[in-house]
A and B are shown apart, each in its own frame.
Chain A
Amino acid sequence: QSALTQPPSASGSPGQSVTISCTGTSSDVGGYNSVSWYQHYPGKAPKLMIYEVTKRPSGIPDRFSGSKSGNTASLTVSGLQAEDEADYYCSSYAGTNNWVFGGGTKLTVL
C-alpha cells in the first residue's frame, strides 16, 4: 500500500476537465510545500508536471494545474487531449530526504 492515496483510475472526454486527488498526512502532504505530480508513460522516464503544489515547469501547458487543501493535493487537467492519457503519480517530501509517493492514477481519455 502506497503512502499517498490516489484513485486507481480517472477518465474524461476530450475537452473536459478531470481532477485527481492525492491524500497523505500532516507529516507529508500537509506539512510541506513540496508536492509534485508526474506524468508517466510505461517504459519512459516520469515527467514533472507540477511542483511546489501549484507551479508548472517550463514547457508544461497551463491545462495542468495543482492545488492543496490540508492533507490532500489535487491535479486538474483541463481541456483533455488524447495525449494526456497516461499514468499520473503524486509525491511529497516527508522530511530527512525521504519521499513518499502515490500509487498512481491511470487517466483515460474517452
Chain B
Amino acid sequence: EVQLVESGGGLVQPGGSLRLSCAASGFTFSSYEMIWVRQAPGKGLEWISYISSSGGTRYYADSVKGRFTISRDNAKNSLYLQVNSLRAEDTAVYYCARQYRSTTSCTLDYWGQGTLVTVSS
C-alpha cells in the first residue's frame, strides 16, 4: 500500500524556518517524481515545488522561490521541504504528492494527509 506521511509542521514566528519531511512507503520511491502542495486556510490548493526522481531537477512557484528548498534522500525514501524566511501568508497545510508520468499524461496519484505550518508571532 502506497503511503506518504508528512511531518515537521508547527508554530513558527515570522522570519523563522522549518524542515518538512514526507516519508514514503509501499513503492519504489527513487522511481518517482514528487511535489509539494499547500492549502492556506479557506483557500484552494497551490503547487509550490517539484523534484525529479533523481533530485537533479527542481522547480518552485514564484511565491516561494528563494525561500523554500525541496530535496530528497532516495536511500531513506524521504522527501523534504526546507522553508525559510516564513511569512504569515505561508500559513497552510503542506502536502506531499507522488507524480506519476505516463507517455501521454501526468497524474498526482497519491497524497499524504498534510502537516500544518502556522506562522505567527
Contact = CB atoms under 8 A, between A and B. Distances in A.
Interface of A: 2, 4, 32-34, 36, 38, 43-48, 51-52, 57, 89, 91, 93, 96-104
B27 interface: no
Contact of A104 (B44, B95, B104): B44
A45 B44 contact: no
Contact of B45 (A34, A48, A101): A101
B79 interface: no
Contacts of B99: 97
Contacts, number: 73
A97 B50 contact: yes
Contacts of B105: 32-34, 51-52, 93
Interface residues of B, number: 27
Interface of B: 4, 33, 35, 37, 43-47, 50, 57, 59, 61, 95, 97, 99, 104-114
14 contacts: A2-B44, A32-B105, A33-B104, A34-B105, A45-B4, A45-B110, A45-B112, A48-B108, A98-B47, A99-B37, A99-B108, A100-B47, A101-B45, A102-B45
A45 B113 contact: yes
Contacts of A91: 45, 108
Q: Is the interface of B mostly helix, strand, loop or mixed?
A: strand
Given A96-B59, A99-B37, A101-B37, A48 B44 contact: no
Given A45-B4, A48-B107, A51-B109, A98 B50 contact: yes
Nearest to B5: A45
